[in-house]
């Protein structure tokens, strides 16, 4: 069952199996606040078991573009479009969140982002391959992030 993420009252629902559930919930709420502030869009997630297509879409891009396959368990996904941008999110039990930003009409503005919640080590699949910048968030504490540009075509 999908749910809209409330960024005013941070909830760990759906993330309780993660050792970083509080920090991951803060990261998820941070994303919800961003979309509400920038696009007036309610950020909605569902268990991966209910939206396998979104998970497959993100995993296909990771595998095709950079040969990345995460061993961590995916807990929740989100897939939506605002303006001309299609977004796909996956939140993993390990504390990792990935997002695919795919502009429909501009191939130069397509990327996959990685965000590591506070306290989480860099996953072995990303170790040494990406440099991570740190940002502060009231909801999520310290978030480390990185990204790569998508070169192929992956229409939904």
Per-residue pLDDT tens for 24-74? Answer: 999 999 999 999 999 999 999 999 999 999 999 999 999 999 999 999 999
> CA-to-CA distance for 36 and 129, rounded, in angstroms?
32
- List phi, psi (to 5°) of 97: -125, 135
Convert the pLDDT of each residue in 79-102 to its tens digit: 999 999 999 999 999 999 999 999
- Which has the closest alpha carbon to 130: 145, 140, 141? 145
Q: Which H/E stretch holds residue 21?
A: helix 21-39
> CA-to-CA distance for 8 and 5, rounded, in angstroms?
9
pLDDT at 39: 97
Q: What is the pTM of this model?
A: 0.96
């Amino acid at each position: 069952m999908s749910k809209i993420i409330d960024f005013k009252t941070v909830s760990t629902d759906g993330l309780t199996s993660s050792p970083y559930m509080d920090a991951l919930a803060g990261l998820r709420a941070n994303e919800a606040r961003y979309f509400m502030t920038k696009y007036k869009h309610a950020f909605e997630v569902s268990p991966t078991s209910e939206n396998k297509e979104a998970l497959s879409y993100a995993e296909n891009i990771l595998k095709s573009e950079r040969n990345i396959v995460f061993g961590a368990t995916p807990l929740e996904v989100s897939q939506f479009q605002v303006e001309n941008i299609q977004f796909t999110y996956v939140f993993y039990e390990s504390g990792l969140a990935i997002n695919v930003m795919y502009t429909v009409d501009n191939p130069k503005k397509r990327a996959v982002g990685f965000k590591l919640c506070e306290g989480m080590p860099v996953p072995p699949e990303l170790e040494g391959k990406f440099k991570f910048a740190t940002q502060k968030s009231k909801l999520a504490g310290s978030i480390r992030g990185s990204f790569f540009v998508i070169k192929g075509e992956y229409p939904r």
